[in-house]
Structure 1
C-alpha cells in the first residue's frame, strides 16, 4: 500500500463472500449449464428449459455466471468463456469438473472451522 493511502475493506469483503462464487460455479457445473450452452441451449429460455429450471431460477444462475465472467453474451446468445468451454463442458476431452466436486462434502465443515478450532485436538 502506498504511503498515506487509506486501507479499505474491498479485499476482505471479497474473501468473506468467496463462497458465493464457488457455490455459483459448482451449481452451474452440477446443473450442466455450460454443457447445455455448448450444445446449443444458448438463450435464457432454452437454457432454463434444458436445465429443468423455472424461468426466474434460470435467470438467477445465468446472471450470476455472467457476473463472474463464466459466460458472456454475443449477439443475443450465451457463450461459455474459453476456459469454461475447454474444462467444464462434459463433452470436452479436457473435462475437469469432477475434481471440483472432490471437496464438496467438506463445505459445511469449513463453515464451522472456528468451532472446530475451539475444541481440543485437531479439527
Structure 2
C-alpha cells in the first residue's frame, strides 16, 4: 500500500502538492494524516482525483506493468495495464479511485468517518 502524507480539515483531505478532495468527517479538528492507496487503484488519465507523478522506473511483467513514481518526498507504486508508453523522468497524470482510499493517523491507527 502507498502511504501519502496529507492534512485533514473541514471535510477535505489535502496532499502536500495541493491536490484535495472532500471526505466524510474524520475528526473534529484539523489533523495530519496518511492516505493509503493500493497500487491497483491508480489509472492513467484525467478521471477522478488526478495526481501528477514523476516516473522513476517502469517494470514490465507480462500484460501488467508497475510504475514506481515520486510524489513530493515519497515513492508511489502503481499497477498499470495501459498502452501509453512511459519512460523514466517523465511526468504523468494518474487518476485514483478515491472511494477506495483508507485514512490513518501518523501512528497507523485507522480513521473512520465519525457519526
Verify same fold: TM over 0.5: no
Q: TM-score, normalised by structure 2?
A: 0.26
**Larger C-alpha radius of gyration, 1 or 2?**
1
Q: TM-score, normalised by structure 1?
A: 0.25
Q: Which has the higher strand share?
A: 2
Q: Which has the higher contact order (CA 8 A, sep 6+)?
A: 2
